[in-house]
Amino acid sequence: MHIVLVEPEIPGNTGNIARLCAATGVELHLVRPLGFSTDDRYLKRAGLDYWHLLKLHYHDSFAEVQQAYPDRRFYYNTTKAHKHYAAVAYGQEDMLVFGKETAGLPESLLAANREYCIRIPMIEDARSLNLSNAVAIVVYEALRQNGFVGLK
């Protein structure tokens, strides 16, 4: 399983997601530009004990991710989707894509992939969840569906 963060902005969120990925064996992909330095103390502090377990990849664009993994299914997380995240049958090699905290994923990317857009249900007046919380919700559903392979 893979998490793709497109232009993340907040080091604490990315650090928490890195820790989640390290603890679950999920690979993390960071798409530049990043809103922080990877040497940022808040980023490191969030996952300090886990960095040696993390499978981390950097990409200069989302197109680069797509080119590197042409045979994978990509699921795009957005508040604008009609299908909720638990209505999907996830595979062990799926790419779960999340956008930056302030703007989400680009509308052009969502429009080109409507059938693979998913959302987390919320009350109507809620704008969105914290990025690291949203990633955790979707990742653990995908892992549950796959029998928590490799986890004890």
CATH code: domain of residue 53: 3.40.1280.10
pLDDT band at 37 (very low <50, low <70, confident <90, very high): confident
Domain count, the chain: 1
Mean pLDDT of 88-115: 97
- Which residues are documented as binding site for S-adenosyl-L-methionine? 99, 120, 128
78, part of any domain:
yes
pLDDT at 12: 87
What are the CA-CA distances from residue 148 to residues 26, 31, 56, 80, 119 (Å)? 11, 27, 20, 29, 22
Give the E-state strand segments of 106-146 in sequence order. Answer: 117-119
- Which residues are documented as binding site? 99, 120, 128
pLDDT band at 82 (very low <50, low <70, confident <90, very high): very high
85, part of any domain:
yes
pLDDT at 40: 62
Instruction: Supply the pTM of this predicted model.
Output: 0.94
18, part of any domain:
yes
152, part of any domain:
no
151, part of any domain:
no
58, part of any domain:
yes
